[in-house]
A and B are shown apart, each in its own frame.
Chain A
């Protein structure tokens, strides 16, 4: 932790489904993220990690517990002003940009809504900040590669100058070489602007690369919290974390191959 808590989550519980048959997606999740810190949530699909992120972003209509952002308590009804503090980058850059809006439109819209001045200058700077030239300004998403789209999505998230960036699997739809570029970009932006990140990913290595601290989420609960250095040093204790680490070593033939039954 560096500095005061920028994000505080205590006993967050999110339940989906009908009244009679509720399905808990997140149960009693608590963590803190300091200002300028990058915090990772690691887990597999269905673990509830994205739900935590969406609750932080005010995208979930009902949750229980406490969420405080920049020292201010949030509740489920009041999301006003949140966009200026906190922005989100989504997993799929093919789905998160409007196909019939130019890059310029995508970047102008939040500025117009929040009444910013000098919009043209801001758009040009946002593009150069994410490593895209001015030539990209009037292109449509279909004229961009996956990596370029994700850069536009990051530019859009940063254009309101938020202090927090929520990153939901920002590189899982990208090729390895493009992922490296985006991860480098995220590190540069964080250092240059003192941003606070919450990064959700299924990839331990990506999280350990970007984040200083991380929590392992499974079945809606945090089972283990540690620093990236501890993870690298092999100090993970929970069996689930160890299983995730094991799978990173690639495929190894199961020692006790329970031979398939009755296929022939």
Chain B
């Protein structure tokens, strides 16, 4: 992985929509626990970070708490899960203080989420167009006719070649890449300030993956959206995002600029980087990570459990 040329990484600063005084999102000491018969499981244990209008990658393996963190920001952790945070502020609004109804208003308009598997996130008995229009109408109260035009434009914006056909299609009539793009159109039609994308491209083929990433990239740089990009793919995050948080055992164990991920210092991050087979190195054994129990204890910020 070392020596990857970072071509095309000349980030031109984007004029922000609002003066960048406060961060878009501020998370401080976030905990998520799931009570169970064998004691509570703490999925997220004291995570703090801030997000500007940038692309923030969150990497980690399954069970590291990265998806739960994304859901907690949207207040979508299902009961009996408990979310506790000193601060969970989006656009200056403390999310924990909102009622369920206010939160529903907030979701979609200011923050939305793309899930990994488009096959399960689209409604199978509603046409794709109607679903996207519903999202738009709910938040703007526009007429059906106006919505249709807007949805078609949005489908075109996510590079769907034949928007009219896709508008009237059902989820099962679309390929994986197509449904994922329809899903992205639905999440972006309200022009949210923050998009949380949980493995948005891992179910997609490489060619489609590049297109989807280009769409997200453009939205961040053109509209000044904030993006949290959750992924297990270190190489992808290093090349796509601006900044990376590495999660392990519900904690952030390392944080660095994405371009410097190759020089990460934490043994876990180093282990992940080394465990990937590469084309440069021929055969042989892959280094297997020795997990140090101390990794779970370090960076303990206080009353964890």
Residues of A within 8 A of B (CB): 44-45, 146, 175-181, 183-184, 187, 202-206, 208-209, 228-229, 231-232, 243-245, 247-255, 257, 259-263
Contact = CB atoms under 8 A, between A and B. Distances in A.
10 contacts: A45-B205, A146-B62, A175-B62, A176-B272, A177-B61, A209-B286, A244-B206, A250-B4, A259-B218, A260-B159
A194 B234 CA distance: 34
B43 interface: no
A92 to B, nearest CB: 13
Contacts of B256: none
B117 interface: no
Given A177-B271, A184-B288, A247-B206, A253 B8 contact: yes
A6 B271 CA distance: 37
Contact of A263 (B62, B154, B209, B234): B154
B288 A177 contact: yes
A247 B236 CA distance: 9
A70 to B, nearest CB: 26
A176 B154 contact: no
Contacts of A257: 214, 218
A260 B272 contact: no
Contact of A205 (B214, B234, B279): B279
B157 A261 contact: yes
- Measured as residues with beta carbon below 8 angstroms from the partner, the interface class of chain B is 35 or more
Given A177-B272, A208-B277, 15 more contacts: A146-B62, A176-B234, A187-B283, A203-B277, A206-B277, A228-B283, A243-B206, A247-B206, A250-B236, A251-B213, A254-B210, A257-B218, A260-B158, A260-B159, A263-B156
Given A146-B62, A204-B279, A205-B277, A247 B153 contact: no
B288 A180 contact: yes
A179 B272 CA distance: 11
Nearest to A207: B277
A254 B214 contact: yes
Given A146-B62, A254-B214, A263 B157 contact: yes
A231 B277 CA distance: 14
A243 B211 CA distance: 13
Contact of B176 (A45, A176, A177, A229): A45
A231 B159 CA distance: 32
A250 B279 contact: no
A181 B288 contact: yes
A206 B276 CA distance: 9
A248 B157 contact: no
Given A177-B61, A261-B157, A187 B205 contact: no
Interface string B257-274: 000000000000001100
